[in-house]
A and B are shown apart, each in its own frame.
Chain A
Amino acid sequence: MEFSIYDLTSFTQWIDSSLRASISPGWAVAIEMIIIGLAILIFFALVGLFLVYAERKVCALMQNRLGPNRVGPAGMFQTVADLVKLLFVELVPIKNADKKLFNLAPFIVIIASIMAIGALPFAKGLHAIDLNIGVFYLMAVSSMGVIGVLLAGWSSNNKYSLIGAMRSGAQIVSYELSVGLALVTMVVLAGTMQLSEIIEAQRWGWFIFTGHIPAVIAFVIYIVAGTAETNRGPFDLAEAESELTAGYHTEYSGIKFALFFLAEYINMFIVAAIAATVFLGGWMPLHVYGWDGFNKVMDLIPPFFWFLGKSFGVVFIMMWLKWTFPRLRIDQLLTLEWKFLLPINIFNLLLMALLVLIGWHW
């Protein structure tokens, strides 16, 4: 059996067939699920740790600082040390808090992001579940996290938390529309909602290049709305530390706080990964039609690294935005969505449909 890092289909099929050969199909599926679950959890933790480290280094770069540089080479293990601290820190019990909901909230947030990660295509053949409504599924599960945020704000018995949660609710419900419409614009271009086919359609040019102006507009709107959906600056009203101390997670401590913290970074990664998949070709290397030598060189880089590279590129843009802009006010936030992004988005969708009808998109 020969495996290639460029096409993992044979590898995953080999695991599947060898499992099915030795045990009954039902058990084989169960074991595969456990393997995938573990892989996703490990990936989840690693990306979380890396992104926290990356954010510290990026914001240090923006602010003329060095960032963490003491624990490990270039401060690499600083986030690990912080995580260990958070694991051992006391879980402060909150008086008059709604205990059940209070404990449930971080898990809802984290489960929503794990569900989204499950459907992401990481590389050719490395795709846990390739739904035929992949884009739709991602939009649906990524908006589930807001329930956790609302529960956290409500059950904490803290006024700041409640204001933060209410802001977050209004914000995510509004920006969900823009995220959805921006993706729908691209679905119109691709003609399918299945992520593997969307990527395959970008073999000879990423959608942001082949989709003309509507694709660029959709990309910008998606980045703005995606940043807002993950509650990150300049849209971090739900945890605006100068107004609401820490917003909805003010009362959380220890590992429960760590879960919220981790979920924020994973959500950022998911938003970036969707952007990379839908606009920037996912794991598909950069190809230019006719330049065979160039395409061969590009193919040398494994698809997994193309995917991660594009995702982290988008993550960098989001961090850049956060560390440069001041925060919006709640009414300006909603004005931006309902009066600007949404009408532009609808117009953009029509424009894209027109382009596809005329057949200009190739």
Chain B
Amino acid sequence: MEEAVLNVPLEKEEYIINMGPQHPSTHGVLRLVVSLRGEMVLNVEPHIGYVHRGIEKMCESLTYSQIIHLTDRMDYLSAHINNEAVCLAVEKALGIEVSDRVKYIRTILSELTRIQSHQLFWATYGMDLGGLTCFFYGLRDRELVMDIFEETCGGRMIVSYNCPGGLMNDIHPNFQKRTKDFIKYFRKTLPEYDRLLTGNVIFQERVKGLGTINRDDAIAWGLTGPVGRASGFSCDIRKHNPYSAYNKVTFKEILYDEGDSFHRYKVRMDEMWESMNIIEQLIDNIPEGPYAEKMKPVIKLPEGEYWQSVETARGELGVFIVSDGNKNPVRVKFRSPNFVNLAPLNILAKGFKIADLVAINGSLDLVIPDIDR
């Protein structure tokens, strides 16, 4: 701790505070060493690794079916999408084509995951800015999605519903009805979010024009997901490189040019509407078919390198697997969106107030276990 503080070049009248690893607004165990002059942020240095569990190294001694259960623990708010990424990579390597039923169900669950992740973002972003009521509104609605997951997948947050070749089991008979009820309910409730926070004068004053990054810089920093799209970088994997059933649905990729905190927020709010559209197109048309392909008890990938990227709620998650033909991979690398999105925090927050640092950090919507893995 001492040395990290000493490494920062000390200017005159500089005031250094440690935000984190235990701090209410870093959403986990991220530690920011912030140099201040008065309230002004001069430099932010993120220190990561407080929840490093060596997931990528652990993968090297596990089978492909087991790896899936580790991916839940990376970005725990996009658990289902992380599972899907590994399954898609393994299926691509083996040349298996899963049934349409599996594709539809995976897509619906991915979009539900996205909605609940954005709900939690909205809830905590309001809290970061001091509007504590948002937290309860957001969690109230997220609970309904969690109930859908619980019924069909067994788990609420850590779902582990995918397996190579399909799904663990078939959907619950209530699944379609519950999902439709939720969409009906949430279409009425989402405008409430806007009335409570988006339209608020104080909120708009706080976040508009805050932490702006332009399109070229966003591409240069590799920003993806809502953070990249708020800067006008069209980076939606669902659109550009469709997987599962995304090529069967029509939806809009939300793009803004401003690239500030408010539009990062706006992208997520609009994405919830789009996710509901996608679910509505699929939910009534889930085709019949097997919920999983017949797989060998021990999955061995042919020798080679495999890459699959998916769009999580936070951006592009890439899975890179190197196989030598055994049941364990030789090397697994996850390209996590949060790690990349954290990187420009310093240039975004420089020159703003300490309260703005919290707002900018919140608008990046980081999940720390995904950064540390």
Query: Which residues in A have some Cβ–Cβ distance to B below 8 Å?
Result: 59, 62-65, 159-160, 163, 167, 233-234, 236-237, 240-243, 245, 323-332
A245 with B23, Cβ < 8 A, contacts A159-B17, A323-B133 known: yes
B135's nearest neighbour on chain A, judged by CB, is A63
Within 8 A of A (CB), among B14-48: 15, 17, 23-25, 39
Cβ of B356 < 8 Å from any Cβ of A? yes
Residues of chain B contacted by A233 (CB below 8 angstroms): 130, 132
* CB atoms of A242 and B129 under 8 A apart: yes
Interface residues, chain B, CB within 8 Å of chain A?
15, 17, 23-25, 39, 126-133, 135-137, 140, 196-197, 200, 202-203, 205-206, 353-356, 358
**Complex Cα distance A240/B354, Å?**
11
Contact of B355 among A59, A62, A245, A329 (CB under 8 A): A329
14 A-B pairs with C-beta separation under 8 A? A59-B132, A63-B136, A64-B136, A237-B355, A242-B24, A245-B23, A325-B200, A326-B129, A326-B197, A326-B202, A327-B130, A328-B206, A329-B356, A330-B355
CB nearest neighbor in B for A160: B17
Q: Chain B CB within 10 Å — which of A323, A326, A330 has the most? A: A326
Q: Which of B25, B137, B200, B353 meets A326, CB within 8 Å?
A: B200
Q: Is the CB of A234 within 8 A of B202?
A: yes
* Residues in A whose Cβ lies below 8 Å from that of B132: 59, 63, 233, 323
- Pair B137/A242 contact, Cβ less than 8 Å: no
B26 (CB) vs chain A CBs: closest residue: A242
- The complex places the Cα of A331 from the Cα of B354 at a distance, in Å, of 11
**Across the two chains, which residue of chain A brings its CB closest to B134?**
A326
In whole angstroms, what is the CA distance A324 to B135 when docked? 11
* In the complex, chain B residues whose CB is within 8 Å of the CB of A234: 130, 202
| Cβ A64 vs Cβ B200 within 8 A | no
Distance in angstroms between the alpha carbons of A325 and B17 in the assembled complex: 27
- Separation of A331 and B131 alpha carbons in the complex (Å): 18
A329–B205 Cα gap in the complex (Å)? 9
A242 B128 Cβ-Cβ under 8 A: yes
> Are B202 and A240 neighbours in the complex by a CB distance under 8 Å?
no
Is B137 a contact partner of A243 (Cβ separation < 8 A)? no
Q: Which residues of A contact B202 (CB under 8 A)?
A: 234, 325-328, 332
Whole-angstrom CA separation of A167 from B131 in the bound complex: 19
Whole-angstrom CA separation of A233 from B132 in the bound complex: 10
User: In the complex, A343→B317 CA distance in Å?
Assistant: 53
Q: Which B residues lie within 8 Å of A160 (CB)?
A: 17
Residues of A within 8 A of B17 (CB): 159-160, 163
Add 10 more A-B contacts to A242-B24, A324-B131, A326-B131 (CB < 8 A). Answer: A163-B17, A167-B39, A233-B132, A242-B128, A242-B358, A325-B202, A326-B197, A326-B202, A326-B206, A327-B206
Cα-based distance from A326 to B201 in the complex (angstroms): 9
A336 and B168 alpha carbons, distance in the complex (Å): 57
3 tightest Cβ-Cβ pairs between the two chains A and B? A327-B130, A326-B131, A63-B136
A240 and B355 contacting across the interface, CB-CB below 8 Å: yes
**Chain A residues closer than 8 Å to B197, beta-carbon distance:** 326
When distances are taken between beta carbons in the complex, the residues of chain B under 8 Å from A237 are 355
A332 touches B205 (CB 8 A): yes
Contact B137 A63 (CB under 8 A): yes
Taking the closest CB of chain B, its distance from the CB of A82, in whole angstroms, is 19
Whether B136 and A327, one on each chain, are in contact in the complex, defined by CB atoms closer than 8 angstroms, is no
